[in-house]
Structure 1
Amino acid sequence: MAASARQTAALALAHALTAAERGLPVIPLSRTKLPALRSPHRGEHRSVTCRGECGRPGHGVYDATTDPAAVRALFAAAPWATGYGIACGRPPHRLIGVDLDVREGGPDGVAALDALARRHEFAVPPTVTVLTPGGGRHLWLTGPPETVVPNSASRLAPGVDIRGAGGYLVGPGSLGAHGTYRLAPGTEHLSPAPCPEALLNLAAPPASSPPARTGTASAASLTSFVLASPRGQRNTRLFWAACRAYESPSPSPILTALTEAALTTGLPEPEIRATLASAASITARTTTGP
């Protein structure tokens, strides 16, 4: 291994150990931002759902740890690592990552989050912010123990991704294919701030029970579910109901009813169209596979 590669790996380990000392579970990442260790189950013919119970490394975010000895062992097994990932949703911080993508000619996640905050009447507090090589940023927020926040991509708004349980954030100091992730000036001294309640409601599943999934949900039950949306959960409930509608053999009449219901709750028509499009995309990927 060249001296520069050894220095990069040593620096990544040093940053990871610092994060682990702060109670943030970490794993080594390669330059592609993917977990550096391959699955120990590759090549096995049977379906494997192991999340680390086998005791071997290579289970992605499920390897994440705050134990210094375990962190060193993971990086020793992946000397090519150039960065580290921080597991979200894990105690004590229970991180919720808000990944704001900013690309020329693409969605502006920062502007989209600002618009979302105005629409739902919340303010993002000062918090740890990591600048990405591509011009985006990661906001670190914390969630309550009783709330499980799932991962999502552009569901809340174009360019706004959520990293929750089972996801991870690229840690500051990591080297990716396009450059280094670094803390935004002025946020180095901050701790992750609590997630605003309205944003938490948007990012988390609906708090009340959705219609039971016994076969295809009826148009009436899905429409009632959307009509009963409290402020802060309208988009989330519409997305869930639309996914169920797309699972139906005849989704069009249900989607029409859902659109009318969402308009009644006060959701703007462009946001409704974007939510339905996201539901269509997610459902298509689920039914057809990767």
Structure 2
Amino acid sequence: MSAPARRVLVTGSRAWTDTATIRTALAMQWGDGTAVLVTGACPRGADALAEQVWSGWGGRVERHPADWTGPHRTRAGLVRNAAMVALGADVCLAFIRDHSPGASHTARLADAAGIPVHRYPHPEQEPAMTSTEQLRYALACAARGWHVFPLTPGDKRPVKGFTDWEGNATTDPARIRRVWSRTPFNIGVACGPSRLVVIDLDMPKPGQTPPPAWDLPGITDGSAVFTHLCEQAGKERPDRTFTVLTRRGGAHLYFTAPVGVRLRNTSGTLGWLIDTRACGGYVVGPGSHVTLPDGTGPYCVIDASDPAPLPEWLVTRLTVPDPPPPSATPVPLPHAGQRLTRYALAALHGETDRVRTAAPGSRNHTLNAAAFALGQLIGAGALPRPLAEDALTAAGHAAGLSAREVAATVRSGLDAGQRRPRQGAA
């Protein structure tokens, strides 16, 4: 006998207009597509948007309209809310705007019934945090063992002059109180010392469309790409973990880093609109509020579970391969009498062209291999390192990798190559 389908109860305000947040929240509950969406059948607002998204994916919707003409009259909505909760649910998603009494009532009933409730603020109404609230969130992160440091208020960047953020990030409550009690800094979580790997599922910017490799039915954002990856791997989507809703409707999924494997930041390695942050990276932490031209809003906790271990299949995909051995892709030095500069520049152009044209999912590996090959030439005295660094950095940016990822990969690849300089041909 098959297990009963998961039930996802949605409650929300009639004034709710933000489809992106609803789509992200529902994607985290989609699973294998057999879950049932339970709604109050309001013709506008959160209920209507959730039904549209869910049914558009091919999901089943269970509607419970209020009987406004029956004996309960004006209390019909409250009676309906209680009936939906009494039927049971595995999770309740509450999209509450302007303190909607009906949606707030349903969320409170679900809490009382022991149903996990994830509350989502509407981005247009969320105020900026005060220093007291920011301090509370920073201390909460530190209590989990996460190393935090101050970001510029309203921004995603470290405060001016705070360059060694990874080395200075802290879990010390006294230091945190001294910093955040004065100014409402945003919160940076340094992933490396916190032993975290965070998967960032982003939303497309206006006018942005999927690249050819991801131009598939239903692929509209990073969350949809992640769901597709999980389905391809035959794995359940790992959503039962600490999760933060980001300012533009995306999500940060927090996982504990694997033991004995040093993962680095990636951009697009898993797929379109999916970045990861690990050693050498940080994320904007919960409780932060960012105001930038490309999007304004808070970073809200929507699942306060402890971070789950990063699934093994994702560890494998995110592990950057070691540089190839000297015999794998030989780059011979010129014979005596050949012009060294001409040869070195030809090698430089060939490697950087490969980086620029690398397919999504292979860009970081291609950059790493190119840096290793050119590092061998640098070690042999055939190529100036600053020239190679500049060319590889430009190629990495052109391929769509993040500045932080490019810098780390170029540096490690060149260093490894220089330790194995290419020997001249006999």
TM-score, scaled relative to structure 1: 0.63
CA distance 1:278–1:122, change in 2 (3 Å): farther
Which residue among 272, 280, 284 is the counterpart of 1:166? 280
8 Å contact 1:29–1:81 — kept in the other structure? no
Q: Larger Rg: 1 or 2? A: 2
The residue correspondences of 1:147-186 to structure 2 (distance < 5 A) are: 147-177=261-291, 178-184=296-302
CA distance in 1, matches of 2:139, 2:316: 33
8 Å contact 1:19–1:26 — kept in the other structure? yes
8 Å contact 2:363–2:401 — kept in the other structure? no
Name the residue aligned to 1:244.
369
The residue correspondences of 1:259-270 to structure 2 (distance < 5 A) are: none
The residue correspondences of 1:131-210 to structure 2 (distance < 5 A) are: 131-177=245-291, 178-184=296-302, 187-188=303-304, 190-206=305-321, 209-210=322-323
CA distance in 2, matches of 1:145, 1:246: 27
CA distance in 2, matches of 1:180, 1:237: 33
User: C-alpha offsets along residues 154-174 of structure 1, whole Å, 9 cap, x if unaligned?
Assistant: 122110000001111211111
- Which residue identity is paired with 2:203? V
CA distance in 2, matches of 1:25, 1:247: 32
8 Å contact 1:83–1:170 — kept in the other structure? yes
1:86 equivalent in alignment to 2:86:
no
3-state SS of 1:90 partner: helix
- Higher relative contact order (CA closer than 8 Å, sequence separation 6+): 1
- Which residue identity is paired with 1:101? D
Name the residue aligned to 1:33.
156
CA distance 1:171–1:248, change in 2 (3 Å): closer
1:211 equivalent in alignment to 2:324:
yes
1:12 equivalent in alignment to 2:117:
no
The runs of 5 or more residues in structure 2 that have no matched partner are 1-126, 211-220, 332-359, 375-394, 411-426
Name the residue aligned to 1:62.
167
Q: Give the total of aligned pairs.
A: 216
3-state SS of 2:193 partner: coil
CA-CA distance at 1:198 after TM superposition: 0.8
CA distance 1:239–1:133, change in 2 (3 Å): closer
3-state SS of 2:130 partner: helix
User: C-alpha offsets along residues 120-154 of structure 1, whole Å, 9 cap, x if unaligned?
Assistant: 33333211110111111100011223111101111
CA distance 1:117–1:15, change in 2 (3 Å): same
CA-CA distance at 1:35 after TM superposition: 1.2
CA distance 1:64–1:238, change in 2 (3 Å): closer
CA distance in 1, matches of 2:135, 2:402: 39
8 Å contact 2:142–2:170 — kept in the other structure? yes
8 Å contact 2:151–2:158 — kept in the other structure? yes
8 Å contact 2:364–2:401 — kept in the other structure? no
CA distance in 2, matches of 1:213, 1:124: 39
Query: RMSD value over aligned CA atoms?
Result: 3.6
Percent identity over the alignment is: 35
8 Å contact 1:12–1:174 — kept in the other structure? yes
8 Å contact 1:152–1:162 — kept in the other structure? yes
User: C-alpha offsets along residues 93-133 of structure 1, whole Å, 9 cap, x if unaligned?
Assistant: x1100001112543511111112222233333211110111
- Which residue identity is paired with 2:151? L
